[in-house]
Structure 1
Amino acid sequence: MYADAATEAAVNAFIAQWTAGEDGAGVLPVFVALCEHLHTHDGAVAEFVSRPGVSHSLRGTFPGWAARPLAVLVDVIDDDPAARWLSVCFHDDSLTDPEERGDWIPTGLNGNDARCFNLEDGDEEFMHYVKKRISEAFAHCCANA
């Protein structure tokens, strides 16, 4: 679920604006699919922070885990709106990466080591791989709440 009605409206407005613009790499459907997947997790709350020209961040939180409520950060990198791409980041210790497709980022997420997956096109197989990581991260949050 979204944090509130204003957050849902902001995400929908961002998607509508993106739909009206360019998406040559086919990233928009991946972003929408990841948004929808996030909402399938009990206790998950989506927050949205938009910084046009920099990024638009969908933050999947698990408020029941006070120690570290952020489970996943889905960033739409917006430095070139005609060539947007996604960086999907997690706390490194909250998931596995059996195919080693993510990048390890020391202290990259709220001061903790992160694992980030860059989706630069509409690669459905990679999107499904990242969806599994989202589910894994939320399972980790639930187990540690």
Structure 2
Amino acid sequence: MILKALYDYYNRCGDDIVPMDMAYVDFYYSIVLDEKGNFIRLEPLGGDSGLPLLTFRPEERTSAPVPHCMGDHAGYILGLKEVKAKDNFDYAKEMTRNEKTLTAFKKDVENFFNILPDNSFVQAIHAFYNLKSATYRV
């Protein structure tokens, strides 16, 4: 009887219940790319509170780098987490510090590309991480 009531309640809720293994995650910026993977701009999302988007539920992190699905903090996406606005900032040191997280994210991008090679969005992201002629190469 209790299971039937829960089943009925779930069906009455409709779209108000987040699907299994999904979660709303706040995103603060979007990296806008063209179809060839070239950087266009960094676009703020949702102001100070970010923009909540439904995505795969992020895995819990321990000491091993575990990237979140196609979105994460800058240490994973660009290898630059603790960037300081100063003239003598050591970008090479920061990239070295975040090398494992960036490599893990790039591996996820490669996996998505292998699964969805014809998806234009995945192609652009894959190209972004594989551009040889880019001024800033991640």
Normalising by structure 1, report the TM-score: 0.25
Who wins on radius of gyration, i.e. which is larger? 2
Structure with the bigger percentage of strand: 1
More helix by share: 2
